[in-house]
Amino acid sequence: MADYLSNPAGMTQQGNAYHLAVIRQVNSELAQNEADLADGWTQLNAGKQQILQGRQQLDDAGRQLDDAYEQLKAARAKLDDGWAQLAEKEQEFRDGKEEGWQEILNARQKLADGWQKFADGEKEYEEGKAESDQEIADAQKELDQAKKDLEELKTPEWYVFDRTDYPGHSDFGDDADRISSIAKVFPAFFLLVAALVCLTTMTRMVEEQRTQIGTLKALGYRSGAIASKFLVYALVATIAGSITGLAVGMYLFPTIIYNAYGILYTMIPAHTPFWLGTAAASTFAAAVTVLVTVLFSCGHAMKEQPALLMRPKAPQAGKRVLLERIGFLWNRLSFSYKVTFRNLFRYKKRMLMTVVGIAGCSALMVTGFGMYDSIRDIVGIQFGELYHYDLTTVLQEDISEQEKDRVEAILFDNEQVSQSMYVRQESMTVKSPSGKSYDIYLFVAKDPDRLDDFITLQTRRGKNPLSLSQEGVILTEKMASFLGVEAGDSITVTDTEHQSYTVVINAITEHYTNNYLYMTPQAYEKSFGQAPSYNMVQSVLAQPSEQVQEEISSRLVSSDSVLAVSDTATVKDQFKDMIHSMTYVMLVLIVSAGSLAFVVLYNLSNINITERVCEIATIKVLGFHDKEVSAYIFRENIFLTLLGAVIGLGLGVLLHHYVVITAETDIVMFGRTIKWASFVYAAALTMAFSFLVNLVMHFKLKKVSMVESLKSIE
């Protein structure tokens, strides 16, 4: 084919065959090429298909690869987390391993310590077992001895106590009884004075209404119907006054007294309910008193005839008084004083009422001031005249010699302590004839000759010194009064082990706080069968002061053998607080008595002026000035007040003695003496109230009209 193409002319002869061959060959090749082309297209299509499939597979593979990549990333993250957790766990493992080894080491140490303790405990057990075996053996011996002693014991004595034997309960009950006893006395005085005031007032009211009473009787009214007017008036006034008094008295006075005794006892807050029974009884007593005085005032008027009642009452006839018979005295009196004395004896009823009222009020005030003296003085007398020591040191009964030397170095060999003395003091009980038990302290001085340097024993009256003897005892005055004994009598005391002993009383000593039996060591040994063991030391300081007392006390209390240290100043303050409670009661009494005195004087003065209006107007017409008129009337009040005050001072002494005996507690004796200043104060207060009333009434006298007062009643 190639040759033909390159040389077509030379192939003409041979060309057709060759040409045909070539064509055939070409056709064949062409056919082959077409076939190859068809195959190629087929293969190409197949290749395209394969390529498409490959691309699909490639896409699928890409997606799978992406998924695998994501999975790989997730796996990588998990792997990283796993490595991190592994590292953390490895760190925890290492830490736990170290802690575990440390715990193992600690446990091994504890185990070693435990074995050591076990060994020590086993050793201690062996030692304790030996000791306990010995103690058990000793205890068994003691038990056997106790059984033997128990078999030898006699039938025991039983002592039964109730709550009245408890000092706090019995003391509080006694205080309540004392206040109750006082409350039974003073209301009687106030009621008596109130009755006098009511009697005077109602008598004056009846006299003022004589004309009306006579008119009513003339009209046929009965005496009871007429008297009922005055009875109702008095009853209404009584009920109104009772309501006011109960409203104040049910709360004020009980609260004051209750809070005052709160110094002595630990009590709940004051509860003051309204006691209907007490209120009814008080109102009934007041009503009965007033009604009786009203009936007494009306009785005389109701017996008179109506014609006499409707006329003015005739003035009392003048009489010569007793003083006129004493010429040398009467002739030296001025005219004004003569008239005053004549008027005093002329109005005897008014004079009697004024004197009795003022005397009652003065007696109450003397009692109040006297109680204040009695309460105030006992502290000064007890801790000034009778007690001279400053410190009291309480020791153990079984004090060792070493501790004793230490105490003596502080109290006996100390420049701050002037002197000291061993004493024995123990608590005992004694019974009165009524069966009531009282606490009493037995006091034994180691050196009786030096007792006067620490405690003064003397009689209250005369202040005669007393000395201890080797056979008897000296009893304090308060306990002697409780037991009803005196010098030469015997009493029985009981100790804390219920053993009773009898002692003879040689003398009674002045004493105000607590109750004591003073005796010598010889008398103690004779009465109790053994020598006394001293459990206290009393000391007198060279220069008493709070700083010195605290310094010595702090040194003493550091010793185990010293149970307590008390200084007299503190005890003195405690007694001041205790007796301070009674001061409130006395203050209430003084204020009430003073108020009553003012009411009595005001009422009687008012009635006196009202009854003598005509007389006052007459002397005004005669030329008396206001001051002279006041002197003319009030001079009588002054004399009556003086007379009532003098009588009241005497009554106050008796009432004071009763109140002192009643208000005393078992451990405190009040003073029996009233100072002169108290009499002066009581009299001065009474006169002051009289002057105040006169001053108020002076202005009423100035208003008396001479013209109107001289008009006839008709």
* pLDDT, tens digit (0-9, with 9 covering 90-100), for 490-503: 898 988 888 888 89
Banded model confidence at residue 90, pLDDT cuts 50, 70, 90: confident
Residue 1 has pLDDT above 60, yes or no: no
Q: What CA–CA distance (Å, rounded) separates 515 from 527? A: 19
Cα distances (angstroms) measured from residue 626 to each of 186, 633, 699: 40, 11, 9
> What phi and psi, each to the nearest 5 degrees, are found at residue 272?
-120, 80
Q: What CA–CA distance (Å, rounded) separates 479 from 430? A: 9
- Strand pairing category for 437-445 and 391-395: unpaired
Per-residue pLDDT at 519: 93
pTM summary value: 0.61
Q: 517-541 b/e with 16+ CB inside 10 Å = b?
A: bbbbbbbbeebbeeebebbbbbbbb
Write the pLDDT tens digit of every residue in 501-551: 889 999 999 988 889 999 999 999 988 888 888 889 999 988 888 888 888
> What phi and psi, each to the nearest 5 degrees, are found at residue 455?
-140, 135
Per-residue pLDDT at 56: 76
CB 528 within 8 A of CB 360: no
Banded model confidence at residue 581, pLDDT cuts 50, 70, 90: low
| Crossing angle (nearest 10°) for helices 348-380 and 167-208 | 160
> What phi and psi, each to the nearest 5 degrees, are found at residue 241?
-65, -35
Banded model confidence at residue 280, pLDDT cuts 50, 70, 90: confident
Tell me 436's DSSP state. Answer: -
Alpha helices per DSSP H over 484-567: 521-528, 546-557
Residue 6 has pLDDT above 60, yes or no: no
Mean of per-residue pLDDT scores for the chain: 79
Per-residue pLDDT at 508: 92
Across 52-76, average pLDDT: 74
Q: What CA–CA distance (Å, rounded) separates 292 from 286? A: 10
Q: What CA–CA distance (Å, rounded) separates 196 from 297? A: 11
Across 433-459, average pLDDT: 88
Domain spans in the chain, listed from the N-terminal domain onward: 2-152, 154-314, 348-386+568-714, 387-567
Q: How many CA atoms lie within 13 A of 314 on its CB side?
A: 4
Q: What CA–CA distance (Å, rounded) separates 378 from 670? A: 6
Residue 475 has pLDDT above 90, yes or no: yes
Other CB atoms within 10 Å distance of the CB of residue 465: 11
Per-residue pLDDT at 164: 58
Q: What CA–CA distance (Å, rounded) separates 539 from 390? A: 6
Which helix or strand (DSSP H or E) is residue 440 part of? strand 437-445
Chain Cα centroid distance, residue 270: 10
Most confident range (mean pLDDT) of 180-189, 216-225, 500-509, 703-712 is 500-509
When mean pLDDT is compared across 23-27, 114-118, 314-318, 402-406, the lowest value belongs to 314-318
Banded model confidence at residue 634, pLDDT cuts 50, 70, 90: confident
∠ CA 232-236-239 to the nearest 5 degrees?
Answer: 135
CB 462 within 8 A of CB 478: no
CB 286 within 8 A of CB 292: no
CB 517 within 8 A of CB 441: yes
Torsion of CA 200, 202, 204, 209, to 10 degrees: -170
Residue 17 has pLDDT above 90, yes or no: no
CB 364 within 8 A of CB 186: yes
Across 101-110, average pLDDT: 82
Nearest to 695 by CA among 609, 647, 630, 608: 630
> 77 vs 581, which has greater pLDDT?
77
Per-residue pLDDT at 539: 92
Banded model confidence at residue 28, pLDDT cuts 50, 70, 90: confident
Residue 605 has pLDDT above 70, yes or no: yes
Helix/strand/coil for 86: helix
Which helix or strand (DSSP H or E) is residue 516 part of? strand 516-519
Per-residue pLDDT at 509: 93
∠ CA 160-161-163 to the nearest 5 degrees?
Answer: 155
Residue 10 has pLDDT above 50, yes or no: no
Place of tokens 């001061």: 583
Place of tokens 């409780």: 482
> What phi and psi, each to the nearest 5 degrees, are found at residue 13?
-80, -40
Q: What CA–CA distance (Å, rounded) separates 498 from 428? A: 9
CB 258 within 8 A of CB 194: no
Q: How many CA atoms lie within 13 A of 598 on its CB side?
A: 12
> What phi and psi, each to the nearest 5 degrees, are found at residue 124?
-65, -40
> What phi and psi, each to the nearest 5 degrees, are found at residue 492?
-115, 125
